[in-house]
Amino acid sequence: MSLVKKPLKFITKYTSNAEEIWKGLNGVFAIYKPSGFSTFKVREMLQAHLCTDLNQLDVREPEPFVRIEGETNKELTIKVEPSYADHELVIGPRYQPSEMKMHHVNYLSNEASGIQLWGVNKGALICHLMRKANSTRFYKVKGILGQATDNYFTTGKIVERSTFKQIKRHHVDMICASMQSSHQRKMFELCGLDIQSQAAYDLAVQGPIRPADNKVPMLYSIKCIAFDPPDFTLEIVCINEDDMFLKTLVHNLGLMSRTNATCSQIQCYQFGIFTTNLGLLKRDWSIENIMRNLLIIRRILSKNKYLYCEDNQEAILREYFENKQKI
């Protein structure tokens, strides 16, 4: 047996030097965004947590100030003392939020919660590439039957009420299947192909179709995974979506059921191959936990380069539909 071991690609170093940690604070990390906070508010909170933790470590000392005293016709004395012009009490903390670059990969609205990826400092470039690759999003959307609001969410003003006792589980399943098939038909219409043609079949066997325009929302799968009137839960797989697109799906489902429905919760439980298990909770937004998460995400990205490239992006969708058929 050979005793030679392969060198490690990632080396972990423990230090309390803020300057060394700042140099290593580059990459992408994942958090679990809570509902009730906007993406821009989350960015401010992350920057504040990181800067506060960095300033509590061993920061750089003030630059030395050389003072020359004495008469010019006599021997001069040289004194070296800390410069007050570079003191923290004068210029503020060493690390400030305005000096930290931070960009999000996937946008989540105020009402939404779930996995969210952020790029910090040099990781902003990787963040841009991952956003351009346009990974698939997986949502769990909860709704309430029997009411409609002005903003399609439970936080809005109720504008209409209706009965829902006639709605059964199989009704919701049929409507979800109809909505999914209509969106799949729309995919081929955007490509300019007839769904019954040979060209459409050749395109379908290559994998799930992705629109060329990133502004066009596309629904790949929608199914009801929980039904307890008036509450129900939908599992939605899509790309290029926003919160209004998901709320409209719930609203349209209510109309097609001859009643009303309002969205009550939006959770992004998976983005690409990143699940909520990788996301840091709000209480764990510290420099130590974020640095560990940076290393975990870096290892995942090194093994799955398609996450920040446009090629082979349909691999996630193919795996999802294969598992769905096995179930």
**Spatial distance between the Cα atoms of 296 and 116, rounded to a whole number of angstroms:** 15
pTM value? Answer: 0.82
Structure tokens that stand for 67 in this block = 């003072």
**pLDDT greater than 60 at residue 78:** yes
Nearest-CA neighbor of 45 among 278, 275, 280?
Answer: 280
Q: Give the residue, 327 or 244, on which the prediction is more confident.
A: 244
Q: Give the residue, 38 or 204, on which the prediction is more confident.
A: 38
Q: Are 14 and 24 in contact (CB under 8 A)?
A: no
Pairing of the two strands 112-120 and 27-33 = antiparallel
Percent of the chain with pLDDT over 90: 51
116: left (phi over 0), alpha (psi -120 to 50) or beta: beta
**Spatial distance between the Cα atoms of 153 and 155, rounded to a whole number of angstroms:** 5
Structure tokens that stand for 314 in this block = 């349909």
Residue with tokens 């508010």: 41
Q: Are 280 and 172 in contact (CB under 8 A)?
A: no
Three-class SS state of 83: coil
Predicted pLDDT of residue 310: 53
Structure tokens that stand for 59 in this block = 């920061």
Three-class SS state of 198: helix
Q: Give residue 10's pLDDT band: very low, low, confident or very high (50, 70, 90).
A: low
Nearest-CA neighbor of 228 among 163, 164, 138, 149?
Answer: 164
**Spatial distance between the Cα atoms of 316 and 87, rounded to a whole number of angstroms:** 52
Q: Which tens digits make up the pLDDT trace of 246-265?
A: 999 999 999 999 999 999 99
Q: Which tens digits make up the pLDDT trace of 80-110?
A: 887 877 777 777 788 898 889 999 999 999 9
Residue 23 phi, psi (nearest 5): -65, -30
If DSSP states are collapsed to H, E and C, what string results for 122-188? Answer: CHHHHHHHHHHHCCCEEEEEEEEECEEECCCECCCCEEEECCCCCCCHHHHHHHHHHHHHHHHHHHH
Instruction: Tell me the average pLDDT of the chain.
Output: 85
> Using the 8-state DSSP alphabet, how is residue 280 labeled?
B
Predicted pLDDT of residue 6: 45
Range in 32-46, 168-182, 230-244, 303-317 with the lowest mean pLDDT: 303-317
Q: Give the residue, 190 or 6, on which the prediction is more confident.
A: 190
The sign one gets for the Cα dihedral 234, 237, 243, 244 is negative
**Spatial distance between the Cα atoms of 139 and 270, rounded to a whole number of angstroms:** 7
**pLDDT greater than 70 at residue 153:** yes
Q: Which tens digits make up the pLDDT trace of 278-294?
A: 999 999 999 999 999 99
